[in-house]
Structure 1
């Protein structure tokens, strides 16, 4: 029952995100994360069950710093190599003003996207399923739902990202294939995030990795758009 309630809350938020003004995104995500934590605590889960216990925080922080540094190193290599540079040419980032970029990197991503998704998928959902069915089922359910969560944003991938357009095209078939690939890829990333959460006992490693992937990705895509903008679709 609690799992169904959590999924229903997330479905409602997915609808609201696409109907409310952009300024409501971060408050909505923060409020939703708080509601999900309340549901989890009322279900008898402890802070440690949710990956938010103090005992595992130091270990989680060490893992998080290493992961964030690794992501930045890989991104910089990818940006420097011409054959992989096209993946960074994304209109969604390139068209941001400097102020919008700073807000996206320092506020919208960590306090909106990452906060909600990590609390929801690696915190509350994972813990609820793990308590009943074990960590394998918890990881499977959390990761599949995490992939499906990205169906809507993935629909615009081929029209904004040069690498996605080159790989799939911009027709309806290409859009369908790109969405399928994005959902499957995001689900696999979800498995990695769940394993980091399970092995460390903390949400800090997946939070750090998620922030690094998204925030650094926006920053470098914005930079790539300024340096190699003529390659954008």
Structure 2
């Protein structure tokens, strides 16, 4: 325990490697995301266990890493609302672009599985919506708890909050390149596609992770970031834009617009809070 607090980066990397090992096993061997569940949830359940084992090992309280019981529902609701606003703008932009090109045909509600190059699957039974919701709840508890809770709490014992957030967000970016690696190993993606998609995913999710880190610092808990994260993941799996060339043709653009708006909004929020502090307001 004391060694982890003296060498926080080493402790973080060891925990990350354990989590990544579970992720690789599920991605390459269990492949639960390709089953009826449509979600890779086993390694995330393992990650939740590792998260709370880490809290106990390093003698933290749940509140210290962001699981504060005060105003839980309120902050989750704010996160959901924040995500909804940004994606309403993003979906509107996407529909407008397709409409101007004469390609837009409608909107559809069904469950799909997210893929780098588009959404796959077309499931409408209620059980699949339940799988999607439960899977995304498990996902946000694990990822926010680990990457915006435990890791920064450890790292900030030696580094500034900015450096800690950058390290945790960089690891979060690398966390998301497993899918293109598997696609390449399965022979469904070229080496050029692997490199391009890995870089795109790593950079994009690193920035998204940094946004969640800023939200966590601004609110003092994990719940608003969890609400926003949940909405971001869920909406692209269940709400689809249909064009004459297929579904979700401009999904990557939609996500980019939503996350850009979201990132800028949180950055402005940070500047306003910092200005108030400097002004003594």
TM-score, shorter chain, exceeding 0.5:
yes
Superposition map of 1:185-224 within 5 A:
185-220=204-239, 223-224=240-241
**Bigger shift: residues 46-55 or 148-157:** 148-157
Please give the root-mean-square deviation of Cα atoms over the aligned residues, in Å: 3.2
TM-score normalized by the length of structure 2: 0.66
Look up the SS of the partner of 2:68 in the other structure.
Answer: coil
Look up the SS of the partner of 1:96 in the other structure.
Answer: strand
CA distance in 1, matches of 2:183, 2:71: 37
CA contact (8 A) 2:77 2:227 kept: no
In the alignment, which residue of structure 1 is the partner of 2:176?
150
CA distance in 2, matches of 1:188, 1:207: 16
- Shift of residue 48 of structure 1? 1.9
In the alignment, which residue of structure 2 is the partner of 1:20?
30
Pair 1:124 & 2:143 matched:
no
Q: 2:163 aligns with which of 119, 131, 137?
A: 137
Gapped regions of structure 1 (runs ≥ 5): 159-169
CA contact (8 A) 1:154 1:182 kept: no
- Shift of residue 8 of structure 1? 2.3
Q: 2:124 aligns with which of 98, 109, 119?
A: 98
CA contact (8 A) 1:105 1:216 kept: no
**Bigger shift: residues 123-132 or 1-10:** 1-10
- Shift of residue 98 of structure 1? 1.6
- Shift of residue 17 of structure 1? 1.6
Return the structure number with greater helix share: 1
Q: 2:55 aligns with which of 40, 45, 49?
A: 40
CA distance in 1, matches of 2:24, 2:230: 23
In the alignment, which residue of structure 2 is the partner of 1:162?
none
Cα distance change of structure 1 residues 68 and 129 upon mapping to structure 2, 3 Å threshold: same
- The higher relative CO (CA closer than 8 Å, separation ≥ 6) is in 1
Q: Looking at CA atoms only, which structure, 1 or 2, has the larger radius of gyration?
A: 2
Return the structure number with greater strand share: 2
The aligned length equals 216
- Shift of residue 44 of structure 1? 2.0
Gapped regions of structure 2 (runs ≥ 5): 5-10, 108-113, 250-281
Look up the SS of the partner of 1:95 in the other structure.
Answer: strand
CA contact (8 A) 2:51 2:142 kept: no
CA contact (8 A) 2:173 2:204 kept: yes
Look up the SS of the partner of 2:64 in the other structure.
Answer: coil
Pair 1:107 & 2:107 matched:
no
Look up the SS of the partner of 2:157 in the other structure.
Answer: helix
In the alignment, which residue of structure 1 is the partner of 2:202?
183
CA contact (8 A) 1:33 1:116 kept: yes
